[in-house]
Amino acid sequence: MKKIIVIALLLAIFMSGHLFAQKRTGWAVGGAFTFDWAAGNNTYVNGAALLFKTPWLPIMFGVSARFTEPDSAIGITADWWLVGPIHLIGPVNLYLGPGLYFWMIMNDQTDNMGFGMRIPLGFQIFIIPSTFEIFLEPALRIEFLPQLPDFGMQAALGFRFWF
């Protein structure tokens, strides 16, 4: 089962390179404040994220971390902007697409981790045209592990530099 998921993900990444954010196909790097609302127990994970994109893959990657007591957490996201950017109004653009995420919370008693799909709906404003953006990105999340399915919301507020 794991091999099939990995192979399908790799095929989707390599076959979809030409469709990613038609106007933004180069390098990007940025940062964000992230938060997550878990369904059921109303817990949340806040943290900081480093965001990056390479010109070779149509994926926006994020690596996030939170180092607090009693729990520390790490997370990884990979989003494919299938739709967008689309001009909405004034300086605001929209993007939308499927993504995947992984998280792990480490504490003294146990290590908790999860994996799932996310659907980010991003709103971006370019402060410097085609170079510097600020964004707000709410995302629906559907967790596959450890429970199937478990729904919740994730969000990020941040900035990106495009090269």
pLDDT in tens, 19-51: 343 455 689 999 999 887 654 444 555 789 999
Is 80 exceeded by the pLDDT of residue 53? yes
Per-domain residue ranges of the chain = 2-162
pTM: 0.77
- The tokens describing 162, both together, are 């495009």
Per the model's pLDDT, the better-predicted residue between 144 and 7 turns out to be 144
Which of the residue ranges 41-45, 55-59, 148-152 has the most confident prediction, judged by mean pLDDT? 55-59
Query: What's residue 44's pLDDT?
Result: 57
| CA distance to 47, 75, 127, 131, 134, per residue, from 153 (Å) | 15, 14, 27, 29, 20
Strand, helix or coil for residue 150: strand
- In degrees rounded to 5, what are phi and psi of residue 5? -65, -45
Query: What's residue 107's pLDDT?
Result: 73
The CATH class of the 2-162 domain is: mainly beta
Length of the chain: 163
